[in-house]
């Protein structure tokens, strides 16, 4: 079956770097996506890894290793506005249902 | 661009009543999804549709039904609501294979009493 595991909470300091990990148990995994959700809002797309390696988008980077069934989201130069929940999501194939992890709440200290 | 529109934004419903949550997208995306979000449980997939005329069950389909008569609309129906269906419901769409990106509506908050 499909499941994605991520830590429930992470705390970091403003200006620092934080990594949010996501491990998954599924076969034929197609790709890994990351979403940000602020309280009361809808999830918004951050990044997508179709292939192994690092994808960089501004202060955010995402990594995927299919051989390790593992990915992570890296947030640099943390700002208070980055306080939110972050979700990894994936699907078994191109046209399959997309499943989410339970989310990681990121707390940022001044 | 409207993107995805959900209605209603919020609703209080008596247990045993039926309810349809509406979802419309104007991006001509083939795939659409319904998720429910509960505290500590993340986003759980209820039903999805890869293209008009087809639907599939997600992780928590019981008590819900969907239809996909055309590309733009993907309504979610609760035939006989129960308190455990109190949740925030998000509709999403995507163009599979392009970027892995899901576009979400603003959500519908449903309270079943």
Range A60-72 average pLDDT: 93
Kindly report the average pLDDT of chain A as a whole number: 91
Between these two residues, A14 and A27, which has the higher pLDDT value?
A14
Q: How far is CA B38 from CA A85, A87, B88, B99, B113, in A?
A: 13, 14, 7, 27, 16
pLDDT at A31: 84
Interface test with A, best of B23, B42, B49 (most A CBs within 10 A): B42
Per-residue pLDDT reduced to its tens digit, B60-108: 999 999 999 999 999 999 999 999 999 999 999 998 655 678 999 999 9
d(Cα A47, Cα A35) in Å, to the nearest integer? 7
Provide the percentage of residues in chain A whose pLDDT is more than 90.
Answer: 73
Residue A103: other Cβ atoms inside 10 A = 25
d(Cα B80, Cα A60) in Å, to the nearest integer? 43
pLDDT at B81: 97
pLDDT at A27: 61
CB-based contact (8 Å) between B56 and chain A?
yes
Confidence of residue A91 (pLDDT cuts 50, 70, 90): confident
pLDDT above 70 for B2: yes
Confidence of residue A26 (pLDDT cuts 50, 70, 90): low
CB A25 within 8 A of CB A15: no
Confidence of residue A40 (pLDDT cuts 50, 70, 90): very high
Range A65-81 average pLDDT: 94
Interface test with B, best of A5, A97, A102, A103 (most B CBs within 10 A): A97
Range A86-94 average pLDDT: 83
Q: Which of A1-10, A90-99, B60-69 has the lowest mean pLDDT?
A: A90-99
Range A64-68 average pLDDT: 90
Q: Cα distance from B11 to chain A (closest Cα, Å)? A: 16
Confidence of residue A45 (pLDDT cuts 50, 70, 90): very high
* Contact check, Cβ <8 Å, A94/B96: yes
Structure-block tokens of residue B24: 């419309």
* Residue A14 DSSP class: T
Per-residue pLDDT reduced to its tens digit, B6-54: 999 999 999 999 999 999 999 999 999 999 999 888 999 999 999 999 9
């Amino acid at each position: 079956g499909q499941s994605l595991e991520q830590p429930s909470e992470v705390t970091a300091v403003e200006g620092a770097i934080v990594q949010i990990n996501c491990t998954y148990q599924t076969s034929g995994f197609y790709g890994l996506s990351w979403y940000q959700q602020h309280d009361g809002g809808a999830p918004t797309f951050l990044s997508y890894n179709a292939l192994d390696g690092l994808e960089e988008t501004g202060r955010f980077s995402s990594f995927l290793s299919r051989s390790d069934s593992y990915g992570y989201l890296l947030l640099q130069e943390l700002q208070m506005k980055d306080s939110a929940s972050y979700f990894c999501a994936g699907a078994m194939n191109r046209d399959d249902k997309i499943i989410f992890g339970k989310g990681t709440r990121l707390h940022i200290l001044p | 661009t409207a993107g995805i529109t959900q209605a209603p934004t919020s609703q209080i419903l008596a247990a045993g009543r039926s309810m349809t949550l509406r979802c419309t997208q104007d991006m001509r995306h083939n795939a659409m999804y319904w998720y429910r979000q509960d505290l500590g449980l993340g986003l759980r997939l209820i039903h999805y549709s890869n293209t008009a005329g087809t639907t599939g069950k997600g992780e928590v389909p019981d008590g819900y039904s969907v239809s996909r008569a055309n590309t733009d609309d993907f309504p979610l129906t609760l035939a006989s609501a129960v308190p455990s269906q109190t949740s925030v419901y998000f509709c999403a769409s995507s163009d599979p294979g392009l970027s892995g990106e899901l576009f979400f509506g603003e959500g519908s908050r449903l309270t079943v009493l």
